[in-house]
Structure 1
Amino acid sequence: MALRPIDNALPITPERPKKQTKVALPIQKQSDVTVNDENKAPFPPTTIDATIDYISSENLKPLPDPEIKIQSLVEGLESKDWLKVCDSLNNARRFALYHSTLLLPILEKVMLVLVKAMKNPRSALCKTSIMASSDIFSAFGDQLLLEPTTSDPFDHLLLQLLLKASQDKRFVCEEADKALKAMVGSMTPLPLLQKLGASVSHSNLRIRAKAAISMSHCASKMGIGAIEEFGLVSLVQLAADLLNDRLPEAREAARSMVASIYEKFTENEEEKLESWQAFCQSNLSAIHAQSIVKVVSSQ
């Protein structure tokens, strides 16, 4: 006897496999691993970073075959590899100290590279470029000011050094201070004082103070003739403004500047203080004259 099918039976369907749950894993970008940010804590030094040597000027040696190596210097300075740029900057220092005539034709390009390297957030590259600027100042001195172009790389270099001398990274700040001292020590005070004049009125307080310190060092090297060529009244007025600056470094630089000017102004005067007081009263406002006279009378 044949069996009858059950009408209400449901058809049997095969069971579908369960979907695997996807888990999102964080991906660490390469740039986050290898690049230090000035605004964050630095990463631990890697093997590559540890190979950077900060060579003092006294320990730099002349280059073998400098006529051949000068041809590849610019290419090395413009490399995308920051390690190669550091090495090329040290070679530029050697050229400056021992083969300056070979470096002179490309000096403007080298200075532009220094400015770019100082802006780099990698501290090793920044410090090496500052050290290179010190050696270039010592080697070329006033030649850096003789033929300014429309871009005037010296102005950009000066501003970067003032910026680096004003920041909180101590080892960069100290190196920039050394470079500014090398600059003042290797250049004629008058044209350098004219260059610094723009920075001493900068809106950044720290830049203004660092510029004032360099101006004070320039004034101490100048005779009364050079001071008068710059503008005796202008220089004293500038010092009077700085005496009221918010930063003590700027005020101290102003007092030092006033003392230098006073010593040279009254060198051949019998009544020194009276002569100085008469000059200040006839050329400055009453309040500025009083503050300037007070600096020298309290010494």
Structure 2
Amino acid sequence: SASLSENDQNQVPLPSSGDATIDYISSENLVPISDPEDKIKSLVEELESKNWTNVCESLNDVRRFALFHSSLLFPLLGKVVLVVAKTTKNPRSAVCKTCIMAASDVFNAFGDKLLDPSTSEAFDGMLLQLLLKASQDKRFVCEEADKALGSMVDSMTPLPLFQKLGAYVSHANLRVRAKAAISLSKCVSKMEGLGEMDESWLAELIKVAADLLNDRLPEARDAARSIATSMYEALTKDKEQKLEVWQSFCQSKLTPIHAISMFKIVGT
């Protein structure tokens, strides 16, 4: 499908999706828009079309704007992300998957700008949808959502993102918790200077890890161990008595039973 001209992009049947006429274009095969200044005027309206194949085309336009004309998209970013997040709930897998691909390209293009006050609320909606989609059973949607969450972590500053993800590590849905925990652990492993972090922040992080360590899903427990290991390495980096430093940190922040289980992660 990569060799097709742009006009033919909706003609390829994809049996795995259950929707017969959508071709998923990878980011590297997208091309610039020929008349972006004109196209941007109707973008939001076209995203809200009642015709789902038109919606998919418009979502691919969002991706092209993000990649090639980001300065034109930026003033509309909050509105566009809001619509994309809402459209992710579409029962058609093809629409949903194209939304998620658009989210990835938007993350890669804008990164921390999505945390600005003008887009923060729309980003929250998108994050929740991605966690929900990554938690569901349709494998090709789930894998795409995992990829998008990876792009999000790679493109954003860890600390503000941690604060966003923190809301979901205690979500009622255990799969959502696990997906949030995985993103959180990637966030933490990416952080430079974790040892110089604000004390209250580190206290919050170790409590999150301790709670996740008792989670029902193994992915959440693995993420907790990864967070603990990253924290251990950062906090004991230039210290002589590494285990003593870690033990006293755990004891000062956690209940005795939690402190023991956190200590054991690196102490064994």
Do both share a fold (TM > 0.5)? yes
Paired residues for 1:190-269 under 5 Å? 190-222=159-191, 223-224=193-194, 227-228=197-198, 231-269=201-239
Structure 2 distance, partners of 1:82, 1:97, is 23
Q: Distance in 2 between matches of 1:226 and 1:53?
A: 47
Secondary structure at 1:183 match in 2: helix
Contact 1:213 1:253 survives alignment (8 Å): yes
* Contact map agreement 2:19 2:92 (CA 8 A) in 1: no
For residues 84-106 of structure 1, give each alpha carbon's deviation from its aligned partner in whole angstroms, at most 9, with x where no partner exists: 11000001100000100000111
CA distance in 1, matches of 2:42, 2:236: 55
* Other-structure match for 1:185: 154
Per-residue deviation, residues 136-156 of structure 1 (Å, max 9, x unmatched): 00000000002246x811111
Q: Deviations over 1:274-295 (max 9, x none)?
A: 1111221222111011000100
Indicate if the aligned counterparts of 2:47 and 2:55 stay in contact, CA closer than 8 A: yes
Distance 1:152 1:221, change over 3 A: same
Unpaired runs of 5+ in structure 2?
Answer: 1-13
Deviates more, 1:136-145 or 1:221-230: 221-230
CA gap 1:262/1:163 in 2 versus in 1, 3 angstroms:
same
- Alpha-carbon distance in 1 for matches of 2:34, 2:154: 29
1:140 aligns with 2:110: yes
- Paired residues in the alignment total 252
TM-score where L is the length of structure 2? 0.90
SS of corresponding position for 1:239 = helix
Provide the C-alpha distance between the structure 2 equivalents of 1:63 and 1:230, rounded to a whole number of angstroms. 47
Distance in 2, Cα, partners of 1:230 & 1:253: 21
**1:14 aligned partner:** none
Give the aligned partner of residue 6 of structure 2: none
Q: Which runs of 4+ in 1 moved over 4 A?
A: none
Which one has the largest radius of gyration? 1
Aligned counterparts of 1:77 and 1:278: Cα–Cα separation in 2: 54
Q: What letter corresponds to residue 112 of structure 1 in structure 2?
A: L
Aligned counterpart for 1:164 among listed residues 126, 133, 152: 133
Identity %: 68
CA contact (8 A) 2:195 2:235 kept: no
Give the alignment's Cα RMSD to 1 decimal. Answer: 1.7
Distance of 2:76 and 2:224 partners within structure 1:
37
Aligned partners of 2:170 and 2:177 also within 8 Å:
yes
